[in-house]
Amino acid sequence: MSHKLIDLVNLSKSYGSNVVLDEMNLYIRENEFLTLLGPSGCGKTTTLRIIGGFETPDKGQVIFDNQDITKLPPNKRQLNTVFQKYALFTHMTIAENIAFGLKIKNKSKAYIDDKIKYALKLVNLDGFGSRIPDSLSGGQQQRIAIARAIVNEPKVLLLDEPLGALDLKLRQDMQYELIRLKNELGITFIYVTHDQEEALTMSDTIVVMNQGYIQQIGSPEDIYNEPENAFVADFIGDSNIISSTMVHDELVEILGTKFTCVDKGFGTNRPVDVVIRPEDVELVAPANGTIQGTVTHIIFKGVHYEMEVMANGFEWLVHSTKLHAVGEHVGIQVDPFNIQIMNKPASEDEEAVSVDE
**In whole numbers, what is the pLDDT of the chain averaged over residues?**
90
Check whether residue 215 and residue 264 sit in a common domain. no
Q: Is residue 191 in some structural domain?
A: yes
User: How many domains is the chain built from?
Assistant: 2
pLDDT at 86: 66
Check whether residue 176 and residue 252 sit in a common domain. no
Check whether residue 165 and residue 267 sit in a common domain. no
| Residue 29 to residues 5, 153, 157, 161, Cα–Cα distance (Å) | 5, 17, 13, 21
Helix pair angle (138-150, 94-104), 10° resolution: 20
**Residue 254 neighbours by CB under 8 Å, 6+ apart:** 242, 244, 274, 339
Give which of 120, 115, 90 is closest to 105, Cα–Cα: 115
CATH number of residue 62's parent domain: 3.40.50.300
pLDDT at 1: 57
Check whether residue 185 and residue 207 sit in a common domain. yes
CATH number of residue 269's parent domain: 2.40.50.140
Check whether residue 284 and residue 328 sit in a common domain. yes
pLDDT at 154 over 90: no
Check whether residue 58 and residue 129 sit in a common domain. yes
| Domain housing 118 | 4-225
DSSP state of 345: P
Check whether residue 99 and residue 202 sit in a common domain. yes
**Residue 114 neighbours by CB under 8 Å, 6+ apart:** none
pLDDT at 346: 62
Check whether residue 213 and residue 244 sit in a common domain. no
| Residue 167 to residues 137, 174, 190, 236, Cα–Cα distance (Å) | 11, 10, 22, 21
Q: Is residue 255 in some structural domain?
A: yes
Strands 4-15 and 156-160: unpaired
Q: Is residue 258 in some structural domain?
A: yes
- Check residues 68 and 164 and name the one with the higher pLDDT: 68
Q: What SS3 state is found at 265?
A: coil
Strands 291-300 and 329-333: antiparallel
Check whether residue 272 and residue 214 sit in a common domain. no
pLDDT at 299 over 70: yes
Check whether residue 195 and residue 49 sit in a common domain. yes
Tell me the whole-structure pTM to 2 decimals: 0.81
Check whether residue 22 and residue 156 sit in a common domain. yes
Mean pLDDT in residue range 172-190: 88
Q: Is residue 353 in some structural domain?
A: no
What digits encode the pLDDT tens for the residues 185-220? 889 999 999 888 899 999 999 999 998 899 999 999
Q: Is residue 174 in some structural domain?
A: yes
Q: Is residue 356 in some structural domain?
A: no
Q: Which of 173, 192, 225 is the last residue of a domain?
A: 225
Q: Is residue 354 in some structural domain?
A: no
Ranges 62-66, 115-119, 215-219: which has the least confidence: 115-119
- Check residues 42 and 245 and name the one with the higher pLDDT: 245
Q: Which of 225, 256, 273 is the last residue of a domain?
A: 225
Check whether residue 74 and residue 126 sit in a common domain. yes
Q: Is residue 357 in some structural domain?
A: no
Please give the radius of gyration of the chain, using alpha carbons only, rounded to the nearest integer: 24
Q: Which of 182, 200, 225 is the last residue of a domain?
A: 225
Q: C-alpha angle 263/353/54, rounded to 5°?
A: 135
CB 125 within 8 A of CB 147: yes
Mean pLDDT in residue range 123-134: 90
